[in-house]
Chains A and B, each alone.
Chain A
């Protein structure tokens, strides 16, 4: 008798597991999308990072609107492309969508060495969530330099290292552009996400760190690090006191932002795209969500599917123009 009970418990466990992981069943038509079937959201970055927290913030509001469960999964690797390839190989039925990050997504296929065939044109945009500008930060107890000017002066005569979050990411692109603009040679040290970069900086293993506003805001408030410059068009709403690179006149203009947006596969039926995009709009423009994001240092910047698709295309052109600086050989 007891044995039967144990077996039942085990089987129940298996069912529970299957329920937790049963997200990718294709939805055959019938009732209107999503018809209560679970949806999978692919966030191609590590759990707990800025992108992941952002994705998980939106999910509950979308779930409410769609009346179904959204499972967030984190297949990481290849600077996001492991997750994106996953999404692009799923059926175009709207049951799988992904968080996409600009400009990181471009370097995955603009660099011919990677041999990727998919491009931004294979994605159907659903909307932009956050625009997060890049910054450079140093330690608060740094003695060799204290601001951007002294940092550049020091870097001209000494080899310095700066952590990024991997080759081809927004941070890496910024470092390459900055090196070229100022005529210095900072060595990038790739880490697994900003948390790694930050630990390396605090432990004095590297000299500076590239981070976005969303990543440096909280440590800056805690006086753990000091942000010396921001690469945005205008002063940041969240960190208005940080000097803007383009206004300093110290070199050619650089604007590097990371956009966290959502997209599904091109070819998804328009009515399904509309359902997803509307639910996303509701979630992103929700006041409670916006204020929670602000506390985390993430500036919500909603753009609808068409606006964002246009923006992504123009960004692609801009990054294409950097091929020479980035060392992407034709």
Chain B
């Protein structure tokens, strides 16, 4: 009964068009800076009014996953993350483009995004209700610790100069303090500017720090090239789109780990794709044998952040369908689309409405595969964007950056924020500061602060430390943080020791 209903819902022309519109529209919207999945879904919702619920929801969820993938294309080719979820990809993806391997990087990103998205759809299909229950065990105290755990990544992003990385991180944390204090309800560091009461918005800051600063640095080389200097990016497109089979086999553990991280981050209502990409990246680095390549064009890094950020999409739909609690801001808009269709989240979605729900999930799964196939198909053409002369590309990116920053909330203020951060990013990069720690700290700073403040209130009369240690998940997270902070030191010492004994052994054999 359910199966025949499911097939009827899934196999029809409306659904097919929905997937196609979602995937293609998502890739375009995602690739444009500023316009992300959240806005794409919001723009499409009015169109869904007259549609069948299945086709409507499949279209919206396809757009979500495709937008996250699309954001990586521009992140890789022109160092302009289309959505915050691709910020982690921009570092190594763009480094690969600079080596002339842009096409290969797009191929890796396509394959990893497809894998992450598809695995999250599988999780959605088989284990959504129990996973959603687990997500409820996480709340403010845990979010604080997750944010702190995320902040330890700054250590790995800092590049060659740890001190400069930490300074950038602290600057980012300070920026995250601007805005309304949620517990007392009083504005801080706003200097009577109404726009600042909602804090510095992430997307304009990100566009400035990554895209605008990149354009400025590239513009410097125009003159040099004119005088006959070497271009930054080789003209020749090297390599092939499809990643080599052996490499895929080798990256299976990385892909699986990153996808699982993405799904978990997606399920948690307090964390979205932006955090998922970074955590996937960081864990890949921790487990990698070629750690020194990270940040300089590591293929593993692209696999990791891309699988993770697309896995977030399916993950964030899990608590949405089962409980009505969206796992990310894009999922929150998706919830609006669901409710407008008369579908109310809850266990009925898996009983009475199972025919619709499972059709949506399967449609989402197909959309991820279609997105991958389409990505491989257009990759060769798209990759040429990287070779457009800077004289043409630079003004286009500047226009897109301004429009993108403005369009999120139709706000001139946001556009100005973008320009300020662009200038700051340019001078930071000129003086050897990494911009990634600032972005990470802006994302995680307010998450940490709000989590900690709520935890204090939730603890009631209990001592806050006792409260933390009374929560098993918190204890695990604290251990993880300690491990991640001190394991590198331990490992280094161990390596040194091994090296010593090794060279000792060599010496012995020499004698």
Contact = CB atoms under 8 A, between A and B. Distances in A.
A219 B136 CA distance: 15
Interface string B305-337: 000000000000001000111100101111110
B340 A53 contact: yes
Interface string A31-69: 000000000100000111100110011011001000000
A176 to B, nearest CB: 12
Nearest to A38: B410
Contact of B404 (A3, A17, A79): A17
Interface string B377-393: 00001001101100010
Contacts of B403: 14, 17-18, 21
B406 A14 contact: no
Interface stretch (A5-13, A229-237, A276-284, A305-313): A5-13
Contact of A48 (B43, B326, B404, B461): B326
A190 B186 contact: no
B243 interface: no
Nearest to A217: B344
A135 B404 CA distance: 40
* Interface size of B as a range: 35 or more
Contacts of B35: 17, 20
A85 B195 CA distance: 8
A57 B340 contact: yes
B407 interface: yes
Interface residues of A, number: 74
B400 A89 contact: no
A190 to B, nearest CB: 5
A23 B184 CA distance: 34
B460 A14 contact: no
B409 interface: yes
A317 interface: no
Interface string A202-226: 1101100000000000110110100
Interface string B142-164: 00000000000000000000000
Contact of B407 (A20, A52, A57, A190): A20
A73 interface: yes
A16 B399 CA distance: 12
Given A189-B457, A205-B140, A82 B198 contact: yes
A263 interface: no
A199 B271 CA distance: 14
A56 B45 contact: yes
B396 A14 contact: yes
Contact of B332 (A20, A48, A78, A114): A48
Contacts of B503: none
Nearest to A90: B410
Contacts of A63: 46
8 contacts: A48-B331, A78-B197, A82-B194, A167-B182, A189-B457, A203-B137, A203-B138, A292-B342
Interface of B: 28, 31-32, 34-35, 38-39, 42-43, 45-46, 49, 135-141, 179-180, 182-187, 192, 194-195, 197-199, 269, 319, 323-326, 329, 331-336, 339-340, 342, 344-348, 381, 384-385, 387-388, 392, 396, 399-400, 403-404, 406-411, 450, 454, 457-458, 460-461
